[in-house]
A and B are shown apart, each in its own frame.
Chain A
Amino acid sequence: MSMTEQIITIAICVLATLLTRFLPFIIFRGNKPLPKYIQYLGKALPAAIFGMLVVYCLKNVNVTAYSFGIPELIAIVAVVTLHLWKRQMILSIAGGTIIYMLLIQLVF
């Protein structure tokens, strides 16, 4: 791939990304009230998306081979427990991450 072709390839990636980010705002612009169905999706989607993002982060975990997703499971339980206990976002995230790093570097 020549330099020009590389730049075009990157530009295409930029364009595709811009499109996915701007499209909803372009379609539903102006002062017209949003269609009811879109309003509903706007409220119903986020919780579903957050679930999807959690699974997305874990997509490469193999539960059928060593370490069977055990470090991930322990760390997530730690995040949830910490968060239910103190409800401090930074503490829960830092705690879970440190436990995960210790587990995969020292134990598994």
Chain B
Amino acid sequence: MSEKKQLKAALFAAFPFTLPILAGFLFLGMSYGMLMASRGFSFLYPCLMALTIFGGSLEFVAATMLLGSFAPLQTFIAAFIIQARHLFYGISMLEKYKDTGLKKLYLIFGMCDESFSINYSVEIPKGVDKGWFMFFVTLLNQSYWVIGATTGGLIGSFITFKLYGLDFVMTSLFVVIFLEQWLKEKKHYTAVIGLFSSVVCLVLFGAEDFLIPTMVCIVGFLTIFRRPIEKEGGLL
């Protein structure tokens, strides 16, 4: 296959998997852009932040940070904590992102929740180049977010949405990916550890602060139960 054909095949194979994210990111990105506009920021802010940070939850928080007083160290700590879950994605993708050449840099840069989930769990169609497939998943997802955020910043808060509830597309996406993983694995130890840790930490620490304790619990349980998990086929 010529290089051009190969790229095209990968793009076409990747696109359908990104459709839910197209809907979700355009909607959430626009909400974010409109929030920025309502706080008096030019559309360039959401646009550039979508391009460079590319992490929805942090960008929403940053919208508030930018209106506060200048506090570099606090900003760094808060940002790192909000984004810490990416450490887990990286560990999970060490093998999959191998041998993808220079594309690897962008694959890692653009590794948001959604791109990670799709690139980890999707079975790439036969004959399609793995590296380019994952590259296009990542690129398409980021472009949806950038387009959404920029558009939101441009139109400001003039338009009230009749699309209330569309953000549930993200929940549905993760439910489906979780379910797919569940159906594929023989034992559900790790899935149950994830659900259990998250729910307990959510109740104990509240919606704003539960991610870090959850991550600690997950690693703790996975380490304690490593032997039974490995022995009884708890891994894919």
Neighbour of A10 across the interface among B49, B85, B218, CB < 8 A: B49
Q: Is the CB of B53 within 8 A of A10?
A: yes
Neighbour of A20 across the interface among B69, B87, B117, CB < 8 A: B87
Bound CA–CA A104/B53 (angstroms): 32
Q: Is the CB of B20 within 8 A of A90?
A: yes
Q: Is the CB of A50 within 8 A of B168?
A: no
Contact A17/B176 with A47-B181, A49-B92 known, Cβ cut-off 8 Å:
no
- Find the B residue at minimum CB distance from A84: B179
User: Which chain B residues (25-78) contact chain A, with CB distance < 8 Å?
Assistant: 48-49, 52-55, 58-59, 62, 65-70, 72, 75-76
User: Which chain A residues (77-98) contact chain B, with CB distance < 8 Å?
Assistant: 79-80, 83-84, 89-90, 92-94, 96-97
Contact A46/B80 with A9-B65, A51-B194, A105-B165 known, Cβ cut-off 8 Å:
no
- A37 contacts across to B, CB distance below 8 A: 226
Q: Is the CB of B195 within 8 A of A55?
A: yes
Neighbour of A47 across the interface among B69, B76, B164, B190, CB < 8 A: B190
- Find the A residue at minimum CB distance from B59: A13
- B178 contacts across to A, CB distance below 8 A: 47, 50-51, 53-54
Bound CA–CA A82/B171 (angstroms): 15
Q: How far is the CB of A86 from chain B (nearest CB, A)?
A: 11
Q: Is the CB of B66 within 8 A of A49?
A: no
Q: Is the CB of B58 within 8 A of A17?
A: yes
Q: Is residue B154 contacting chain A, with contact meaning CB distance below 8 A? A: no
Say which one of B5-13, B124-132, B228-236 lies at the interface with A: B228-236
User: Which chain B residues (92-115) contact chain A, with CB distance < 8 Å?
Assistant: 92-95, 97, 104, 108-109, 111, 113
How many residues does chain A have at the interface if contact means C-beta atoms less than 8 Å apart?
66
Bound CA–CA A53/B55 (angstroms): 14
Bound CA–CA A53/B23 (angstroms): 18
Q: How far is the CB of B199 from chain A (nearest CB, A)?
A: 6
Q: Is residue B139 contacting chain A, with contact meaning CB distance below 8 A? A: no
Contact A59/B175 with A1-B69, A48-B190 known, Cβ cut-off 8 Å:
no
Neighbour of A104 across the interface among B55, B72, B165, CB < 8 A: B165
Bound CA–CA A37/B164 (angstroms): 44
Q: Is the CB of B85 within 8 A of A49?
A: yes
Q: Is residue A57 contacting chain B, with contact meaning CB distance below 8 A? A: yes
Q: Is the CB of B191 within 8 A of A48?
A: yes
- Find the B residue at minimum CB distance from A104: B165
Bound CA–CA A21/B82 (angstroms): 12
Bound CA–CA A17/B218 (angstroms): 21
Neighbour of B222 across the interface among A48, A56, A90, CB < 8 A: A48
Known: A10-B62, A13-B59. 4 other contacts (CB 8 A): A21-B90, A43-B235, A45-B222, A57-B170
A-B contact pairs, 28 of them (CB 8 A): A9-B75, A12-B75, A13-B58, A20-B84, A24-B87, A25-B94, A25-B108, A38-B94, A40-B235, A44-B229, A45-B92, A46-B92, A47-B185, A47-B194, A48-B222, A49-B89, A49-B92, A51-B191, A51-B194, A52-B194, A54-B198, A56-B211, A57-B171, A89-B180, A92-B172, A96-B175, A97-B23, A103-B165
